[in-house]
Amino acid sequence: MPNAPISDAIALRIGRAARALPDTDPARLLRVLAAAVALPPTAAKLAELRVKDLKSAADGELADLDQSVLKQALAILRGEVAPDFDPPPPVDPGAAADLPGSVRVACASDRGEELDGHFGSCRRFLIYQVSPDEVRLAAVREVDDALAQDDKNAYRASLIAECQVLYVVSIGGPAAAKVVKAGVHPVKWPHGGSAREHVAALQPVLAQGAPPWLAKVMGRAPEERVRFEREAPDA
């Protein structure tokens, strides 16, 4: 890494922006910035940076990343977002009690009770228990990639392994494969929104009879899945 001086404030932005990008550490992002704006990166240089610059710099180092995650990282680099994310919501009372006929859904989140996280960079997973009659926030799983050893995707998948469904803003192919291998069905919601509202939308689906894909991840027998499909063709 070059020895050009970087202010503490800019170094903090780079560290936070790297966290927002899947499979990216500050050193990788700094290589891209060196090609895009030259070192040392300053507030004035970063203010002129564009998403297309991040995608093309350093021989397209970040070219395969989703536009949405690059926009999020760029906003952090420019200092356009608050320095801290909202804290997670509290777990609901009685969350440990059994909910018959329920499904467990993980939501990738960075702020409050929002579904706004990308699988490879979110700060936490909100774990909901959803039945036809009730939605409970059962757990909040904070992510610490330092525990990931050699496989961050496998580590993150292990945090939600007891869930049947994962909601994310985005997820890459290799990461999705690890999630599916863990027995969890990933679903992308590119525009995000309220995590609780998204999982609550499953309630009428469960009440009418789970569609085949959901019946499968819930562990329903094949003959039950056929019954669900016949009874609820529009679910």
In the chain, where are the structural domains located? Answer: 8-78, 103-200
Residue 86 backbone phi and psi in degrees, to 5: -65, 145
Helix 67-78 vs helix 51-60: angle between axes, to the nearest 10 degrees? 100
8-78: CATH architecture: Orthogonal Bundle (1.10)
Question: Which token pair is 20?
Answer: 């927002």
The predicted pLDDT at position 234 comes to: 40
- What is the average per-residue pLDDT within 56-72? 88
Whether the pLDDT of residue 205 is over 60: the answer is yes
- What is the average per-residue pLDDT within 81-109? 80
- What fold characterizes domain 103-200? Nucleotidyltransferase; domain 5 (3.30.420)
Instruction: For the chain, give the percent of residues with pLDDT over 70.
Output: 86
The predicted pLDDT at position 229 comes to: 34
Whether the pLDDT of residue 82 is over 50: the answer is yes
Band (98; pLDDT cuts 50, 70, 90): confident
Distance, CA of 81 to CA of 14 (rounded, Å): 13
Band (147; pLDDT cuts 50, 70, 90): confident
Question: Which token pair is 137?
Answer: 């926030």
- What is the average per-residue pLDDT within 63-71? 84
The predicted pLDDT at position 232 comes to: 34
Q: Give the least confident one: 16-20, 70-74, 155-159, 224-228.
A: 224-228
The predicted pLDDT at position 17 comes to: 87
Helix 8-20 vs helix 26-37: angle between axes, to the nearest 10 degrees? 110
The predicted pLDDT at position 8 comes to: 85
The predicted pLDDT at position 97 comes to: 73
